[in-house]
Amino acid sequence: MAPIPKGGTVAVTGAAGFIGGWVVRLLLDRGHRVRACVRDATDEAKTAFLKAMPGFASGRLTLHSADLDNEGCFDEIFKGCHGVCHVSHVSDYNDADYVRRVCDHVIASINAAGTVSRVIVTSSIAAVISEVDVQELVKRPVCYEDRYPDEQNPKRTAERGQGYSIGKVIAERAFSDAAAASGEWDAITVCPGDNVGPIQSAHQKEMGPWQHNIEMMLLGEYYQNGAYRPWMVVDVRDDAECHVQLLTSVDVKNGERYIAWSTETRNVEDICASIDRLLPELGHDTPEVTDPFPERVKVREKELRAIWAGCELRNDRMRAVTTVRFRSMDESIVDCVESLISIGKVVPKLRPGHSVRS
Ligand SMILES: NC(=O)c1ccc[n+]([C@@H]2O[C@H](COP(=O)([O-])OP(=O)(O)OC[C@H]3O[C@@H](n4cnc5c(N)ncnc54)[C@H](OP(=O)(O)O)[C@@H]3O)[C@@H](O)[C@H]2O)c1
């Protein structure tokens, strides 16, 4: 199907979120018209940063209330749109029927509009790398777009917190199947890595999880990452740029997925220490990373770290169809920390003699 045209209109779900907010900003920067979909457009704490964007004053950016749990929620909003970036979370990833139902709500509104030619579906690297049995990563260590988690493992249950990765796979397939059936639009999936970078609104510091984890480091508390997995990062601005460029690319086809990560990885203790290395003026009182895992996990630390170190992260496909050049994690950490302090009003734990300037 055709990419969206120059100046075309794009609806963005989850527009008040960390990634969605940047997708809105970059679309406006590229000259598009944007319909920002939030659950409550009157919630100033979440929407003031959108209303402060210059495109809002002229009317090029409009805000719309919609809850994707409700059938027909986007019918009016998508009418006349050329593209949709479906960035938003859903309320429950562990209930596969619910996930399919809310996908159907969005899909029905796309079909009803009759004007949409491209939909970008935000999935996750969880739908690439999240395994109940880490030995799967030893068997299949190359993390690229054709890799899916082992979906058949009997230990993969919602009770074990495996709903997110499979919920994302279900959503990816629901959209590409619906697009194929329609023949009128393409569904292209983005699988973002761990997003770090600047927040645009104070409420986003509690979301994430990655920017929230950096907030906690600033506050003097931080916990080891699950299964000692290193962060596999993408700057939130680069992730948004990937979304925007996939809307306008002539080289993508329905059903394709593209991973958005820089391929840089870093252990959590290194990230925590990076704050003081990168911003020595701040005087961050670097906390010890605490390890809350039970002994049976702790004894496997070396093995688990080695498995992750053996994984190969690839972003060849994203680089082939976009011009995005991924930022280094150091840049993302600096911008994240400064935004958490200046926009999020986080008061970091500092060494004696240091204070945050107001
Ligand atoms: N952050 C990451 O590192 C990361 C990594 C991989 C994938 N992703 C994916 O990227 C997407 C965005 O993540 P994010 O970090 O930007 O999340 P976020 O900051 O938590 O924002 C998600 C947004 O989803 C909206 N939302 C949740 N339930 C909704 C519903 N029932 N109806 C309508 N909107 C709903 C919320 O809207 P309101 O604020 O209006 O209530 C929220 O602003 C998600 O799909 C996530 O799975 C994120």
Mean pLDDT across 90-114: 95
Checking if the pLDDT of 161 tops 90, the result is: no
User: How far, in Å, is the centroid of ligand 1 from the Cα of 90?
Assistant: 7
**What's the CATH code, domain 9-342?**
3.40.50.720
Mean pLDDT across 110-124: 98
Q: Is the CB of 69 under 6 A from ligand 1?
A: yes
CA distance 60 to 55: 5
Mean pLDDT across 205-216: 94
Beta-sheet strands, E only, within 31-129: 33-38, 61-65, 83-86, 118-122
Q: What percent of the chain has pLDDT over 90?
A: 91
97: confidence class by pLDDT, cuts 50, 70, 90: very high
Checking if the pLDDT of 162 tops 90, the result is: no
CA distance 199 to 212: 10
Instruction: Give the sign of the dihedral formed by CA 146, CA 97, CA 71, CA 18.
Output: negative
Q: What angle do CA 57, 70, 160 make, to 5 degrees?
A: 110
Of ligand 1's atoms, which has the minimum distance to the CA of residue 210?
3
User: How far, in Å, is the centroid of ligand 1 from the Cα of 88?
Assistant: 4
Of ligand 1's atoms, which has the minimum distance to the CA of residue 38?
40
Tell me which residue of 167, 178, 173, 177 sits closest to 124, measured CA to CA: 167
Q: Is the CB of 24 under 6 A from ligand 1?
A: no
Q: Which two tokens stand for residue 185?
A: 């639009």
Q: Is the CB of 200 under 6 A from ligand 1?
A: no
Of residues 11 and 159, more confidence is placed in 11
User: How far, in Å, is the centroid of ligand 1 from the Cα of 281?
Assistant: 33
Mean pLDDT across 33-41: 98
Q: What is the pTM of this model?
A: 0.97
